[in-house]
Structure 1
Amino acid sequence: MRPDVILRLTTYSEERWREAAGEQWWKKVVYLMNRGGRFQRYNDSYDGEKLANAYDKQINLYQEKTARTKDSMTGIPFSGISIHELPKDSLDRPLQDVEKGYNLRLNTFKRSTMTKSRTNPAYWLLAIHPQNYILINRITANELGYKEGDMVKITSLSNPEGIWDLGEMGKKPVAGQLKVIEGVRPGGIMFTLGYGQWGNGATDMMVDGQVIKGDERRGRGIHANAVMGVDPHLKNTCLSDKVGGSAVFYDTHVKLEPFDGDTALV
């Protein structure tokens, strides 16, 4: 049986679902599923000027536990209330990317049809979006002299060459095709994860002395994590959100350069 048929039967079987619901309820079940659930009437959602479904739990505007915790890098206590801070390194020093000419903010996201690095072998997903692109606003593209379909390389202060250095496997440029859309804020670029790979069967691999041929479909597009900002003090880890304890995905600034080379491993 074909993989797409197996997928369809395991995720949706009308015959099985109809039997489970019963003929009396089947049309109502379909009605609910098509709308994502059962919802309250809009007219009933407010009680005067207030929400009818109130959130009646305590909300802490001041977080004492956070305020009593000291930053292990600087010795300064964290703020106990929400504050706005500009991007900083681990010693709370302002980042220098923009001052040094890297003035495009790099953003990343996950498309619902390619959410992980391991989803690229799913050919029924690749059929929907065979590759990803470097997304850019039309205003920014015009300012920089680029157009739809241009090949460009991304560089950053942390990675001025714009490459993936993969040791014995070789080097791979952080390069891809531009796609001009209105859904990106001017002054920034975006790429979706899951593409631009060299593993997962995208390139030839040697297993037990036998060459397993790669499938170029699995390696299409760009993966730009290699140019994301490295902490200028630590030098061996990414920028971090000290309070949340997570990697910083949205505060790297980059440049675009025209690219006419090969995006394969060399």
Structure 2
Amino acid sequence: PRTTHTAGAAGRIRRTLSKAMAADAAKVGKGEMKVAEFKKKYAQHLDKLIDPDHPDMGPKNNQFVFLAGRIEHGRKEIMKWFTMGGFGSVNAYEHTTICEQSHHVAYSLLTHHKTHHLKPDLINTEFVIFWGTGAYTANFGLTPMAEKVTTNRVERGLKIAVVDPRLSNDAAKADWWLPVKPGTDGALAYGMIRWILENRRYDERYLRNANRAAATADGETTYTNAACLVKIENGIATKLLRANEVMQADGKTPLGTKDQLVVSNNGKLIAVTPEDTKTPVEGDLFVATKIGNIEVKTSLQLIKEEAYSRSLDKVEEITGIPVSQIEEVANELTSHGKRAAVELYRGPVQHTDGVYAGTAIILLNLLIGNPDHKGGLQKGGSHWHESGGKPGNVYHFKKMQPGALKAFGPPVSKEKSKYEETTYYQEHGYPAKRPWYPFSGNIYQEVIPSMAMGYPYPGKILFLHKGTPVLATPAGSKQIEMLRDPDKIPLFIACDIVIGETSMFADYILPDLTYLERWGTPHVTPDVP
């Protein structure tokens, strides 16, 4: 029998080994270490790898795949704790890409990655556009939202517009229903942006603020880079102009540092530190000029040019929404000061242009300067710290897994991984057998097809929890034959409360509890301040 002491020591040895192999396997993938050199160094442990000739693909542990559907917090953290640290597999997935990932990415891009979710203050707003979502149909925090919207509508006269191809429960109760053609949401949003710009219904004072100090002086808690200059290269907007790229009048002294941006105020260039709290800086909103050999435009100028690239008649042709209705809703949105908001969720972003449609819709909020205002957008919500380690927490799970393995290798979905940093690329170049996704994560729809194809490596065990990819993913029916083929997925275990469209093909089904019975720590929706 092994004592606790010796078991702990063995665990630490395994952890040390897995960390060392992970570091060297990454070097092999990048071409910084030869495969032969790796094999010689780890000759006694090559049997632990999926393919010793491609050590960067990781250990056999990766052939266990935990695929979760709408898993909740509490369970999600345990899934990763078990799969990655305990089992040593990189393959632990949520369902995010078939839910609303492009919505999250859009918010993340527009908040400098500070948050991926904002919601209207539905208790105090006077007008809301529900875009591809609603308070009565499908949303994040549907139960509290429905109560707030109903109360506000009955007691305070909340006005509502709904953008949705379907006459949903929300659209049926709205003041305006805009049955947009699927996939044309971005064009509709830019049509509204055009009307707002043309009629000067935007919050100029808010948008001119270029740093924290200027925002504070105006009583704002947020600001934008609408007035900041952007470099235009070969006709394409590329990067924000940096102050060290601009020379002062003497032609020798930089305007500022590489960490500073640049605005134009009545034609005078000013270096701006975005988070400066002492020196307010404001900028002109519509600038298109050259600074030496550098062509520049302000961020808002670029948005204006995109909005003006098509007439409202053209927007009507694309979207199916009459010009008169576009104008009426845009007018209503800009008639309540900051007590109006545009709310989006899955509807407009579940398309190939989803991120761009999402950012266009969110811009409508920025144009009226409503973030962090009563009746505007808010960053609500709160959450547990399921892994512990915070003041008052009883447990700290990371410290309770001293022998945790170092999971390494690309996920079977090939997410957050670069094909160019693999031995496959070194051997075969382009094209790869299946797409790699270096910038995305939780690519739910890619997992089973990749396991079935055996690329980048074959899977052995699929554990599906609270999910039904056969129903939920595009062309999901094609996964039926993959799941039924033991040569492609030798062992399939499902955990669910029903025998569903996907779990019916499992080798084993572990009965789960319903949401009223099971343990979990769902986070508070951003809809709750």
| TM-score normalised according to structure 1 size | 0.25
Q: Which has the larger radius of gyration?
A: 2
Task: Answer 1 or 2: which has greater strand percent.
Answer: 1
Task: Answer 1 or 2: which has greater helix percent.
Answer: 2
| TM-score normalised according to structure 2 size | 0.15
